[in-house]
A and B are shown apart, each in its own frame.
Chain A
Amino acid sequence: MNSTPLFSLVAGVLVIPALVLLWLALGERLLRLLPARAQDRVRPWLWLALPLLLGGTILVYPLIQTLLMSFRNRSGEGFVGLDNYGWVLSEQVRPVLVNNLIWLIVLPVLTLALGLVIAALADRVRYEWLVRTVMILPMAISFSAAAVIWRLMYAYQPAGAAQTGTLNGMLNQLGLEPIAFLSDPALTTWALIAVGVWMSTGTAMLMLSAAIKNVDASTLEAARLDGAGELRAFWHIAVPQIAPTIIVVYTTQVIFALKIFDIVYTMTNGAFDTNVIANRMYAELFQARDYGHASAIAVVLLIAAVPIIVVNVRQFREENAR
């Protein structure tokens, strides 16, 4: 902890670009010594070498390291075969996987549905800017801060006492009993998912709203002339046209749900049947210091995310090909 910020700044702003330029200049100089044909073959690699090195160091190397560690014991020394994976599927971790499944199914569907409805409705009103601003505001808040805010929203006092939580305050006004949102196992996961939806609906709406603006107005007009109602026109004409965006939004939210951590950690730390896999990984890594278990969870998470990433990348390519 001795390096001063100034030193880091100088290194970052001056030394690294200088080294990159030096590498390229030297490389080009050397390339010129080669025959023209060989130059064309080698040049891309000269320029790609640095990004590849960077990506390799910060992405591929840790990935391989994690994979290797997932077959080793808690301290990362002895080889234990598939034990860690057996543990991930054991009774100890299974309830956690079930919770993740709930997140995985509910969060993307809710976010998408809300985002789509709000985007479609807001598109038709003059104060769309206001709707968008309000919806996007939560994006400016970090997840931990949002979790703290929602702890206050969900705060519970026994019936009869002054309710300090916003939601229970409202229930109180309606003459209803207060609800312990954050400690009733039947409710808590849903209460946490609601926070996730609140946080991500804005992004979804923004992307979908951009897509809706690109829907060809003449096709909608044609549908209306053919006698289709507004709902039908939207569902059969607009939605197919924005399907690529819907898939992107959906897959992004699925990945978000897979790796959900902050909300759960900050609000319950997994108590009351709310634990999720990323929180368990954190506990294994930093509290139990079991690198084997933590790595196995990381690998399982990665494997679960791969199909979704493939769909996402394909979609992206098709969009670009068009």
Chain B
Amino acid sequence: MRSPRSTRRRTTTVVGAAFAALGVTLAGCADAGSSASGGSAASAPELPAQYVDAAKSFSESLLSNGEKTEGTVTVVGTLAGTERERLLSAFAPFEEATGIKVDYTGTEDYTTVIQAGVDSGNPVDVMTVSSMAMVRQYANSGDLKDVGSIVGADTLEKNFEQGLIDAATFDDKTYALYMSLDNFMVWYDPQKYDGPTDGDWDELSAWTEQQAASGSAPWCLGLSAGASTGWPGTFMVFNQIMKSQGPEFTAGLATGETKWSDPKVKAAFEAIGEIVHTDGMVYGGPSAALSTEPGAAGNGMYNDQCSLFEWGTYGAATLMAGNPAVKAGENLDFMPIPAENPDYAGTEAYTGTVVAAFADRPEVQSFLKYLASDEAQTLIAATGNYVAPNQNVPAEAYPNELLKKISTDLLSKDLAPLPSHTIDTSVRSTVYTAFSNYVQDASTLDAGLKSIDDAQAALG
């Protein structure tokens, strides 16, 4: 009876090995499927040496007696993967020159992490977030330090446009400074796209309808983003509200003055909804949009899946990181989102990363001064992810013509904050969910808008 048993054991080992191999293969496939999102290949970019040196010598000037200090500044922000690496590369000269360590945690759950820290009386030192509503909230609750007095009113005025300072000022104190700016635009591949680019909504709509009717989807759309699923489409709606109703009406969404169930807001949802729900308008239709990550969807421009992609400034860097064939200016270009109402053709909705501090220890103060400086903001520009809000940053700091164009274009417009930047984060997350549900099932729009009004009303 000995030999059959040993054969049997061998079979089980083989089966086990087969299982293991299968597991590896599956994992491999899965990885290939998601790599187009551009988050996996994390490599810090090489920033131009002259900018790095300038940032280092500025950092050294922050040291009181010229000697390196110690200490750690804890930062909670939003970035992961390549985007995180790019941001950290702009912090590196500061760390090297001062000896201060910047401990950056990038998480999708930053609202929770920050709130939990504040509740426990042990908040993070600095938050770098995309929500001015959070700055307003923690400024009102008395948790934030006066960044204006730390950095100095003169420096702020010298470095930033007054509108951006005012946006972060509550009760005469400036509680945040802008580390980066971004906006939404329509990306396309100039080597293939032959539609209108002159900023007329009706012309663009006519072109997309014609494309859809001829059987090739004009729009790329990717809404899948874990707990924030729906956000890219929500941003399209926000831009639509801004460019059809103007900044004043849009600003009312944050205060509750404008109701989400307002017919004009609903019309903006329906304008985007029409794109999503019309057969052939969006590559793969609503289900594919809800299941695809934005970066992967944008890559559809290079797979003959779709030709227009509405996404943020960071789209340039993300698309290039995700697909080596994408070259800024060659096969990637953009046009501003056409304004439905020509009155607002000169208005551009921005969001950005704002920096606010819960602590004012010397090392935190140094870090804030660094982030406000021309030198650090030049590095932010050089990373190629965002527009640097500091107005003294030279245009040649941007790594490509595309970013240069975005920055001059953005900074020349009448800037108004996109609602995502100003509405409370709980309302924002309700909007994402309501939009996702609307994409899935158009009949849920009214109920969805009411749920957003409820969330706004619950804030009191």
Contact = CB atoms under 8 A, between A and B. Distances in A.
Interface string B1-38: 00000001000100110010000001001101110000
Interface in B174-231: 226-230
B40 to A, nearest CB: 13
Interface stretch (B154-162, B163-171, B434-442): B434-442
B426 interface: yes
B33 A165 contact: yes
A287 B291 contact: no
Contacts of B122: 1
Interface string B116-146: 1000001011000000000000000000000
Contacts of A158: 283-285, 287-288
Contacts of A127: 12, 15
B138 to A, nearest CB: 11
A288 B458 CA distance: 8
B29 A166 contact: yes
B440 A185 contact: yes
A183 B458 contact: no
A265 to B, nearest CB: 6
Contacts of B292: 157
B347 interface: no
Interface string A284-295: 001111100100
B455 A288 contact: yes
A79 interface: no
Contacts of A184: 287, 440
Contacts of A273: 437
Contacts of A134: 19
Given A271-B436, A287-B111, A166 B26 contact: yes
Contacts of B284: 157-158, 161
A164 B26 CA distance: 10
Chain A binding site: helix, strand, loop or mixed by DSSP? loop
A183 B19 contact: no
Given A130-B12, A185-B440, A266-B227, A180 B26 contact: no
Interface in A83-109: 92
A226 to B, nearest CB: 31
B29 A164 contact: yes
Contacts of B74: 1
A272 B12 contact: no
A276 interface: no
A158 B16 CA distance: 34
Interface size class of A (residues with CB under 8 A): 35 or more
Given A269-B226, A272-B436, A126 B8 contact: yes
A71 interface: no
A239 interface: no
Interface in B271-296: 283-288, 290-292
Nearest to A156: B291
Given A92-B454, A266-B226, A289 B426 contact: yes
Nearest to B15: A130
A63 to B, nearest CB: 18
Contact of B433 (A126, A157, A270, A286): A270
A152 interface: yes
Interface string B418-448: 0000000110010011001100110000000
Nearest to A178: B287
A164 B30 contact: yes
B112 interface: yes
Given A268-B229, A286-B111, A287-B111, A155 B283 contact: no
Contact of B429 (A153, A166, A268, A287): A287
Nearest to A279: B227
B458 A290 contact: yes
B49 interface: no
B323 interface: no
Given A157-B284, A184-B287, A184-B440, A287 B460 contact: no
Interface string A1-42: 100000000000000000000000000000000000000000
A286 B116 CA distance: 8
B290 to A, nearest CB: 4
A265 B108 CA distance: 12
Residue from B116, B287, B429 with most neighbouring chain A CB atoms (10 Å): B287
Interface string A144-162: 0000010011011110010
A92 B453 CA distance: 12
A147 to B, nearest CB: 9
30 contacts: A1-B124, A74-B458, A127-B15, A149-B30, A152-B33, A155-B33, A156-B291, A157-B284, A157-B292, A158-B285, A158-B287, A164-B34, A166-B26, A182-B290, A183-B291, A265-B227, A266-B227, A268-B229, A269-B429, A270-B433, A271-B230, A271-B432, A271-B440, A282-B112, A286-B112, A287-B425, A287-B429, A288-B458, A289-B115, A293-B458
Interface of A: 1, 74, 92, 126-127, 130, 134, 149, 152-153, 155-158, 161, 164-166, 169, 180, 182-185, 265-273, 282-283, 286-290, 293
